[in-house]
Chains A and B, each alone.
Chain A
Amino acid sequence: QQQVRQSPQSLTVWEGETAILNCSYEDSTFNYFPWYQQFPGEGPALLISISSVSDKKEDGRFTIFFNKREKKLSLHITDSQPGDSATYFCAASANSAGNKLTFGIGTRVLVRP
């Protein structure tokens, strides 16, 4: 059973457009949601995170929108750049479970110049 689901699996946008990546989860005890960015041949790098007490978190061109009632969140990448081409993983954890991260399958983003 996949506890963290991501869609779409891949996404292509033009430079300057907004990329929208979706994530949903099953476990209502999850209360921390980091997004990781991974380039080929590298480990995942923490991009931005949100806790369940907030409904929005912004960091530069990256924004997380969180809907606790629907157990959904999304990552918006505004003014997409070719350097943003990477795989993005949504993850979730619960304080009660020792902050073990459960990852989604990832969304591969390609930004065309």
Chain B
Amino acid sequence: EAGVTQSPRYAVLQEGQAVSFWCDPISGHDTLYWYQQPRDQGPQLLVYFRDEAVIDNSQLPSDRFSAVRPKGTNSTLKIQSAKQGDTATYLCASSFAGWEQYFGPGTRLTVL
């Protein structure tokens, strides 16, 4: 069974540029999570979906970040105008009915 896949694996931007991250969860998993992991820290939840609905986006900086999961399968996380403080690894995870979460390899973002 294929795991969670993410692309791209790396991104390097100048401040003010936009970037999108894509996630394909494990087949059959109804819940999808996006985390931000700064260097040498634990993952921090940004937003999560059950099917196509946003369940919690309270930690998502809504002025510049957005996330969608239109068909309840794949998901896209977008940063509209990146800042140096956004430098981190962005992780996608999925689970079935909110139990064990399985993570993808992440996208390492550097904002110059």
Q: Which residues of A line the B interface, CB within 8 A? A: 4, 34, 36, 41-46, 49, 89, 91, 98-106
Contact = CB atoms under 8 A, between A and B. Distances in A.
A4 B91 CA distance: 19
A112 B103 CA distance: 28
B103 A103 contact: no
Interface residues of B, number: 23
A43 B104 contact: yes
Interface string B68-100: 000000000000000000000001010100111
A4 B42 CA distance: 10
Contact of A43 (B40, B41, B55, B106): B106
A103 B44 contact: yes
Interface of B: 4, 33, 40-45, 48, 55-56, 91, 93, 95, 98-106
Contacts of A101: 33, 43, 45, 101
A44 B41 contact: no
Contacts of A106: 40-42
Contacts of A100: 45, 48, 56
Given A43-B91, A44-B103, A105-B42, A99 B98 contact: yes
Contacts of B42: 4, 89, 91, 103-106
